[in-house]
A and B are shown apart, each in its own frame.
Chain A
Amino acid sequence: MREYFEKITKELFKNISSNEILIVNFDAEESTFVRLNKAKIRQAGNVKQISVTLSLSNKEKRNLKSSLRLNGNVDRDISTLIKALNYLKRELPDLPKDPYLMYANSVHSTSVSETKSSIDDSEILDYIIMSAKGLDLVGIYSSGYIYTGFANSLGQINWHSNFSFSFDYSIYNKNNNAIKLNYSSKTWDRSKYDLILNNGLKKLEILSNPSKNINTGHYTVYLEPSALNEIIDMMSWGGFSYKSNKIGTSPLHLLNKKERSLNKSVCIDENIKDGLSPNFNTDGFIKPDNIKMITNGEFTESLTSPRSSIEYSVVHNASSPHEYPCSIDMKEGTIGSEKILSTINNGIYISNLWYLNFSDRNNGRITGLTRFGCFLIENGKLTSPINTMRFDDSVYSMLGPNLIGLTTRRDLLIDSGTYEERSTASARLPGAIINDFKMTL
């Protein structure tokens, strides 16, 4: 695939005048998707897609972009791309100047290529279906290569190819209670898959107790890393963006302005070095290994795109245009796994939260629901599952004075999202024990 990318970019750059700069962004994937319901196949298939975005600008700072889906055949695709390039050349002079246009102009080429995977999808799926016999299992298996490339007419070329698989699934009992599980990796290890499934089945046993309705009110809760990730994800809707904080639409703009603070134990980084996403952005800038966004409860550094850096006269950190994190890394705390239930004594164990949104974005107030594997904790023990509850609380309370502590154990959560293409986002974070967590419906 890299050879194909280099051939098409080489031909494109031959057609660029000295007054023009062309940036080529490349995205491709070869993916298997097998969807399961009740441990049987619902839909199974394969998707092969290649797309290229041409971004043409000139020395007068005019800029225009065109994205195209391609065949993968070099000669045909070059012809398609040259036509698109000529359209951009024709349209460019009529457009107004873009005062915030910025692209990498010092050449910094990089390459990360993974060796061919030995995974056999059919063999894995046979095993999954066999091991799930008799279970009410629902979810999706996806696997394959993801390719990301960047090249510009100044001579820079960056390449990142990555093979991975993800089996994201839930197991249900007869009461319609469920445990959510995920096994994502680059290599298949049957014993690891068995361990995850068996641990899930043990939890499912507790779920077979009769469910309890709990009243609205304030509770001490434990949020597993996947539940806490939902809250951090909501904070990421503009929360770490330089631009959103500047214009005030960030849910963390009061934290950014030092009007509010979080608990001292809250430290959140964008950790590119240990994540799965490419370390270059769409303008060709190389991202730093690590960005400390929140340190000891204080806002320390935003994600700043090259465009924002010009608009607001600040230094950028090669963030994507949307200034959204792709590799969250939250520091662990001091509560050992064995201490979680005894610390809470009476409260709620929340494995997952679901469908979060803002009830007051200005003040970081978030609502959402419990989902998958949520239990009552009574006298330091998990007793019975709870029926779905809605929470509505401020991040400044949950991760502020009401945060009792974070766990020593952290989980790496690989995003199983597949909108348009398979995601490369990930998050590594601990669980959290929170006091006075507000349940409202």
Chain B
Amino acid sequence: MKDEFLNQINTYLPSVDYCSFRFVSKYTNILSVTRNVLEPIEIIEDEGLMVTVIHDGGFGYGATSDLTRQGILRATEEAKKWANFSKGHLIHQPIPPINAVDNGKYFTKEKDGWARESNKDKVDYLMEINKALKAKSAISNWGASFRYNKVETLFTDTNGSKFRQNISYILPQLVACAEYKKQIQTRTYGGHAHARQIGYDFLKDSDLISRASIIASDAIELSMAENCPDKKCNVIIAPDQMILQIHESIGHPLELDRILGDERNYAGSSFVNLDMFGDYQYGSDKLNISFNPNQESELATYNFDDDGTEAVKQFLIKDGKLIRPIGSYYSAQRADQDFVACSRATSWNRPPIDRMGNINMEPGNSTFEQMVSSIEDGVLLETNNSWSIDDYRNKFQFGCEKGTVIKNGELKGLVKNPNYRGITKEFWHNLDLVGDESSFSILGTANCGKGEPNQTIFVGHATPSCLFKNIDIFGGES
């Protein structure tokens, strides 16, 4: 059926220098139970096609949800019209690829398919989780949800390329709030971090009932805890906060379109410039960061990006030294840089731009216990709840849900509202120990915003826990 559709639309390709058709079909299913009540179940189906035309020195696109022959031809005319208009006005005349992708394919491996489980079974599971979250009276608010997304892409172009990718991912979200003396503390599981390309078996195997009990107990303990102290000390950052740190202070500043100025009116620029690649020491020699679209089950694992570039693992930072940007085939032409397969669009109705895929911290050789035992006076930081960084990606401040005091090499009680701030370069040079495979976690976030027109997209981050020296930490209002 899909191959037939691809063959059919292939006949509509116009006679221009280059044209591609990118069809995207997205299916989203969200089930939420809040305070033991099922919210209206949401099913969202979204299909459409983007036509991209490069012709006679111009570039334009037309996107439509009208998938009839007439609709596609109208979108093609729009793309040709904008290509004609942009001729002579473009910041860069894109040179289309010469090579063709021959019937490429990628499919997420789902052991237990989402559709095989009934709505009733999923709702029953969410109800059970709700019971575990509200096991104690001190819990003032609680809820759980499952989100399933399936994104199918069909691509064909005038080079003769054809490929089909089917990415599906699951995101569980658990929340528990506890109130003590009009101060609320919230703990979550999932949310920003635990999205994976995986089947429903992931939810069954994740033991969400136990996790619900743990976060509920945490919320109660945090509501009665002291504020995080205000001082400079060594910290261990857990994977569910590390992903945010990598995302904001390595991923975004290395995006080539930012470096080239495209995002200066919205998402911002970067302190990184083109002269720094191959030479600049980004962090300590413990820092190894890869663009890895091949990590199984990670959120942005795929074989091709939205321009049809083949996806392979590349190091962005090796032993602390900056190697290459996150730049797509077309952006790399503008900057004379190496490219990676990072040209991605949120859907059929937005043009691809430079995006993080899976941006991962390679594991080191320290166990979590070794890291804890090396700290005399510090804090373990877990689960992001606040993020803020300047438009050149220098000055950041991040907040976490949970802080655990470390004294004389042992984990002690909890502290609430743990925040930390710093400057990107100093921070990554303070990276002292990198966790080994035992704390390496495959995580990802479904909502990274960027671009004009605006786009949110899913990106993966896999990372171990890490130890940083001399970090400024502080708490909330006393």
**A95: which of B42, B120, B390 is its contact (CB, 8 Å)?**
B120
Of B60-68, B157-165, B432-440, B459-467, which stretch is located at the interface?
Answer: B60-68
A91 to B118, CA, bound (A): 10
In the complex, chain A residues 194-237 whose Cβ is within 8 Å of any chain B Cβ: none
Interface residue ranges of B283-342 to A (CB < 8 Å): none
User: Is B470 part of the contact surface with A, judged by Cβ < 8 Å?
Assistant: no
Q: How far is the CA of A311 from the CA of B143 in the complex (A)?
A: 15
Q: In the docked arrangement, what's the CA distance between A253 and B388, Å? A: 23
A19 on interface, CB distance cutoff 8 Å: no
B391 touches A371 (CB 8 A): yes
Residues of A within 8 A of B262 (CB): 35, 37, 42, 138
Q: With A and B bound together, what is the CA distance between A388 and B268 in angstroms?
A: 13
Residues of A within 8 A of B423 (CB): 441
Residues of chain B within 8 A (CB-CB) of A361 are 386
Residues of B within 8 A of A50 (CB): 65
Are A247 and B71 in touch, CB under 8 angstroms? no
How distant is the Cα of A139 from the Cα of B392 in the complex, in angstroms?
A: 17
Whether A259 sits at the interface, judged by CB under 8 Å, is yes
B112 within 8 A of A: no
Contacts of B98 in A (CB 8 A): none
Structural contact, A359 and B91, CB atoms closer than 8 A: no
List A residues 1-50 near B (Cβ within 8 Å): 31, 33-35, 37-38, 40-50
Contact of B395 among A63, A66, A311, A388 (CB under 8 A): A388
Query: 0/1 per residue, A63-77, Cβ < 8 Å to B?
Result: 111111111110010
Task: Give min CB distance, A320 to chain B, whole Å.
Answer: 14
Interchain CB contact under 8 A, A44 and B391: no
Total contacting residues, chain B, CB less than 8 A: 81
Question: In the assembled complex, which residues on chain A have CB atoms less than 8 Å from the CB atom of B75?
Answer: 46, 48
Decide yes or no whether A390 CB sits under 8 A from chain B. yes
Mark each residue of chain A from 321 to 353: 1 if its CB lies under 8 Å from any CB of chain B, else 0.
000000000000000000000000000000000
Q: What residues of B have a CB within 8 angstroms of the CB of A64 in the complex?
A: 40-41, 43
A69-B46, A95-B120, A363-B476 known; A37 vs B91 contact (CB < 8 Å): yes
B86 surroundings in chain A (CB, below 8 A): 41, 44
- CB pair B140 A388 closer than 8 Å: no
Which single residue of chain A is at the shortest CB-CB distance from B38? Answer: A96
Out of A249, A259, A419, name the residue touching B177 (CB < 8 Å).
A249
Of the candidates A51, A355, A365, the one whose C-beta lies within 8 Å of that of B477 is A365
A359 proximity list for chain B (CB < 8 A)? 386, 397, 399, 417, 419, 476
Nearest CB of chain B from residue A108's CB, rounded to whole Å: 22
A364-392 contacts to B (CB < 8 Å): 365, 367-369, 371, 388, 390, 392
A41–B262 alpha-carbon span in the complex (Å): 10
Most buried by B among A142, A361, A365, A369: A369
B260 at the interface (CB under 8 A from A): yes
Cβ B140 vs Cβ A139 within 8 A: no
Contacts of B477 in A (CB 8 A): 360, 362-363, 365, 394
Q: How far is the CA of A426 from the CA of B118 in the complex (A)?
A: 42
Indicate whether A41 sits within 8 Å of B388 (C-beta atoms), given known contacts A65-B42, A441-B395: no
- Are A47 and B349 touching (Cβ within 8 A)? yes
A189 within 8 A of B: no
**Cβ–Cβ contact B38 & A70, under 8 A:** no
Quick one: which of B183, B266, B387 contacts A357, CB cutoff 8 A? B387
Interface 9-mer from A147-155, A168-176, A289-297, A429-437: A168-176
State whether the Cβ of B107 lies closer than 8 Å to any Cβ in chain A. no
Tell me if A67 and B265 are in contact (CB < 8 A). no
**Which A residues are in CB contact (< 8 Å) with B265?**
138-140, 168-170, 180
Complex CA–CA separation, A48 to B65 (angstroms)? 7
Q: Are B42 and A72 in contact (CB under 8 A)?
A: no
| A73 and B68 form a contact (CB under 8 A) | yes
- Shortest B138–chain A CB gap in Å is 12
Q: Does A356 contact B (CB under 8 A)?
A: yes
Q: Chain B residues near A248 (CB, 8 Å)?
A: 140-141, 177, 179, 182, 184
The answer, yes or no, to whether A274 is at the interface (CB within 8 Å) is no
From residue A307, how far is it (CB to closest CB) to chain B in Å?
8
The answer on a CB contact under 8 Å between A139 and B452 is yes
Given contacts A50-B65, A248-B179, contact A45 B476 (CB under 8 A): no
Which one of A45, A48, A394 lies within 8 Å of B82 (CB-CB)? A45
Q: Which of B40, B63, B455 has the most CB of A within 10 A?
A: B40
Query: Is A125 positioned at the interface, with any CB of B under 8 Å from its CB?
Result: yes
Smallest CB separation, B219 vs chain A (Å): 12
Closest to A31 in B: B453
Chain B CB within 8 A of A313 CB: no
The smallest C-beta distance from B244 to any residue of chain A, in angstroms, reads 11
Instruction: Tell me, rounded to whole Å, the shortest Cβ–Cβ distance linking B231 to chain A.
Output: 15
The reply to whether A67 and B44 contact each other, CB–CB distance below 8 Å, is yes
- List, in ascending order, chain B residues with CB within 8 A of A101's CB: 40
Give the residue name and chain of the B residue nearest to A125 (CB).
B85
Q: Which B residue sits closest to A50, measured CB to CB?
A: B65
Q: Does A122 contact B (CB under 8 A)?
A: yes
Residues of A within 8 A of B62 (CB): 45-46
- Whether, in the assembled complex, A127 has its beta carbon less than 8 Å from a beta carbon of chain B, the answer is no
Mask for B349-387, Cβ within 8 A of A = 1, else 0?
Answer: 111000000000000000000000000000000000111
B476:A38 contact, CB within 8 angstroms: no
| Interchain nearest-CB distance for B300 vs A (Å) | 19
| Chain B min CB distance to A358 (Å) | 5
- Contact between chains at A37 and B261 (CB < 8 Å): yes
B37 touches A357 (CB 8 A): no
Instruction: Determine whether A98 belongs to the interface, using a CB cutoff of 8 Å to chain B.
Output: yes
> A288 within 8 Å of B by Cβ?
no
B38–A98 CB distance below 8 A: yes
Using CB atoms, name the residue of chain B closest to A35: B452
Contacts of B210-261 to chain A: CB distance below 8 A: 260-261
The answer, yes or no, to whether B132 is at the interface (CB within 8 Å) is no
Closest to A137 in B: B265
Query: In the assembled complex, how far is the CB of residue B12 from the closest CB belonging to chain A, in whole angstroms?
Result: 15
Q: Are B66 and A355 in contact (CB under 8 A)?
A: no
Q: Which residue of A lies closest to B386 (CB)?
A: A357
B85 pairs with A44, CB closer than 8 A: yes
Check A99 against B390 for contact (C-beta < 8 Å). Answer: no
For the complex, what is the distance from the CA of A414 to the CA of B177, rounded to whole Å?
35
Q: B7 in the interface, Cβ–Cβ < 8 Å?
A: no
Residue of B nearest to A67 (CB): B44
Judging by beta carbons under 8 Å apart, are B90 and A247 in contact? no
Contacts of A247 in B (CB 8 A): 140-141, 177
Nearest residue, chain A, Cβ from B64: A48
* Residues B89 and A95 in contact, CB atoms below 8 Å apart: no
Contacts of B11 in A (CB 8 A): none
Residue among B90, B261, B262, B390 with the highest chain A CB neighbour number at 10 A: B390
- The smallest beta-carbon distance between A142 and chain B, in angstroms, is 7
Q: Which residues of A contact B120 (CB under 8 A)?
A: 94-95
Contact present for B60 and A360 (CB under 8 Å) = no
By beta carbon, the residue of chain A nearest B43 is A66
Which residues B54-98 have CB closer than 8 A to chain A?
59-68, 71, 75, 78-79, 81-82, 85-86, 89-91
- The answer, among B45, B261, B385, B395, for a CB contact under 8 Å with A67, is B45
CB distance from A8 to the nearest CB of B (A): 14
CA distance A60 to B84 in the complex (A): 57
Nearest A residue to B264 via CB reads: A138
A95-B68 contact in complex given A363-B477, A392-B397, C-beta closer than 8 Å: no
B408 contacts the other chain (Cβ, under 8 Å)? no
List the 4 closest A-B pairs by CB distance, nearest first.
A360-B476, A45-B61, A418-B453, A140-B452
A-B contact pairs, 7 of them (CB 8 A): A35-B453, A45-B60, A49-B64, A69-B46, A125-B85, A140-B453, A390-B421
12 further A-B contacts with Cβ under 8 Å, apart from A354-B390, A390-B397, are A37-B91, A46-B75, A48-B75, A72-B66, A76-B68, A94-B120, A96-B38, A355-B388, A365-B476, A371-B391, A390-B395, A441-B421
* A residues apposed to B, CB below 8 Å: 31, 33-35, 37-38, 40-51, 55, 63-73, 76, 84, 91, 94-96, 98-101, 122, 125, 129, 138-140, 142, 168-170, 172, 176, 178, 180, 247-249, 253-254, 257, 259, 311, 354-363, 365, 367-369, 371, 388, 390, 392, 394, 417-419, 440-441
